[in-house]
Structure 1
């Protein structure tokens, strides 16, 4: 179609002179009167999904795999005891992996900057960061997903809750309350199962009951599962890093789902242990290399570099409280002594990591 010519070129659909109605191609078609009497399609009976008996049988059949996963997580919890820096690093890494597996882009270094208020974005980038930041905060604490699903998701109430921008399509109000109650009842019925098995069941039920919509389903279901599984431990680490072990099975019966979840949990815990051991060795090496230095900036940078997988200068300034010049000077010193590596290869907007 074409628009009438003006001094500034052809008119557009939002110009003052209205176009003929038949030319308004961008408007939706009028409603079909024949469709007005159509009733909504019946919903599937979700109560028959994922029967508890299958999960009991799967737990018995995979006792050895369950023991290995629990042992690996116990060792990781012991390594993370009273180590806030390691816990933050694991939470950032896990949140980034969860987001990536859900189709979002939230690298750990950008997620750290976002959490420190040093990174803003627009459109999809801002949405991805907000969702990953939510995952990181919920992995580290917040309301319990089983006893308070609405608080876990940040909802304001059962009937008047507010849906965060970018999460449209998720159930809310009375619909969410009904689904959450059914989910809680099914989890309560599985109380006799091991926490890892109950966590795998909880994730599968979350998706089956559609407590979340779209990309949010992968993020919220996995965070809830990671938190529920951590009940098996006794330390400060309040989540099992399942996403760090790779994608787990999201389809099939209880046996396949549980096998995939346990494998991912074991591999994620082993990956976390490797990170913890390398960080411990690196910190000892750093203490020796910096033993003759005075000032508070070098040890403060070591703490920041333990906490985050990648550290831009802006984040180092924010977390150490030192000036930008002091941070740049000490980063160059750490790099010269072989303690850190610069990853961007650029002269601006550079990122450093511990040379583990």
Structure 2
């Protein structure tokens, strides 16, 4: 029915009928963004990926020159670690990788020890609530310890995203796959390879920042971009940069972590902490290795020396893991482990008769 002249007059004056509710004052509409905020009213009310600072190579070159006092000790620590690793069996790098991966996951808020990751990799020991995190950790250690197949050779193979459906994905976790991933991979590799006039540690930090601008990984996951950066900065020795407990955590990422200089300083300090920790671990292992070789000098057979090698490689051992590493029987593995306990070379950690685990004494 058409409006009467009286109704049109009421509408033009903004009057409402007796049955219309009073309008809610705008200040009580809590879900609306305040008008005086600089942030757009379209901003999402949940955490979003941080906006990275400029990835102009000239900016990062200038930042490297300003942060040389942080770069020098980090580069020196990495060089000393590379030289130190050469005096150990090659398998000891897996122990360093386990420690670094555990440190990265703690930056995400995922508390997995190097021992848990090692047992999962060797024997697939896990709990249902840790399945996805352990699978991610195992991927990281495998990438760090396997020659070739680095991130610059193609992210589809590097990340293992060979299909549209990833069994480790969670609902709402939309990662680029297929042609989209290939295009982002080429773009990322191009910008990283363009930073040729900087130190390798700067290049690794730049690769980490460039990864996050392209949303190759969900914003709150740091494992994939950090592993890529570790391989970009790796050279002689263990082949990857060690990572310590540093500022590469999701809270720093969420906050934006400042400009290129701040990002470089954080990256340098994290690498330096990881290298220093790895050097201390290698010193401890070297002392233990000398003592163990002297303690088993009177023993015959190939199991005792193989057991020493396994204890250098893994932070924790079970009899089944010793069997898979040395090829001996479970009974022989337990007998040699008990002999090592008697000679003060290993400690049994559980105090149980079943499901027992051992580690090298400090």
**What's the counterpart of residue 337 of structure 1?**
343
TM-score by length of 1: 0.79
**What's the counterpart of residue 229 of structure 1?**
233
Name segments (4+ residues, structure 1) moved above 6 Å.
none
**What's the counterpart of residue 271 of structure 1?**
277
**What's the counterpart of residue 110 of structure 1?**
116
- Of 280, 296, 301, the match for 2:302: 296
Matches within 5 A, 1:179-218: 179-213=184-218, 217-218=221-222
State the Cα deviation string for residues 111-160 of structure 1 (Å, max 9, x = none): 222222442543x421111110000011113412123222211233xxxx
Q: How far 1:182 moved relative to its partner?
A: 2.6
Q: Distance in 1 between matches of 2:89 and 2:120?
A: 22
Q: Distance in 2 between matches of 1:327 and 1:84?
A: 23
TM-score by length of 2: 0.77
Structure 1 unaligned regions, length at least 5: 1-39
Matches within 5 A, 1:223-262: 223-230=227-234, 233=235, 235-242=236-243, 244-248=244-248, 250=253, 251-262=257-268
Partner secondary structure for residue 222 of structure 2: helix
Q: Distance in 2 between matches of 1:119 and 1:331?
A: 20
Q: Distance in 2 between matches of 1:296 and 1:133?
A: 29
The verdict on how the C-alpha distance between 1:192 and 1:283 changes in structure 2, with shifts beyond 3 A counting, is same
Q: How far 1:222 moved relative to its partner?
A: 0.5
**What's the counterpart of residue 4 of structure 2?**
none
**What's the counterpart of residue 77 of structure 1?**
82
The verdict on how the C-alpha distance between 1:345 and 1:169 changes in structure 2, with shifts beyond 3 A counting, is farther
Q: Distance in 1 between matches of 2:224 and 2:333?
A: 37
Q: How far 1:180 moved relative to its partner?
A: 2.3
The range that moved more, 175-184 or 196-205, is 175-184
The verdict on how the C-alpha distance between 1:133 and 1:279 changes in structure 2, with shifts beyond 3 A counting, is same
Q: Distance in 1 between matches of 2:270 and 2:259?
A: 17
CA contact (8 A) 2:347 2:358 kept: yes
Instruction: Report the count of equivalent residues.
Output: 307
Q: How far 1:252 moved relative to its partner?
A: 1.8
Matches within 5 A, 1:34-183: 49-81=54-86, 83-122=89-128, 124-141=129-146, 142-156=148-162, 161-167=163-169, 168-183=173-188
CA contact (8 A) 2:292 2:345 kept: yes
**What's the counterpart of residue 330 of structure 2?**
324
Structure ID, larger Rg? 2
- Of 220, 223, 234, the match for 1:219: 223
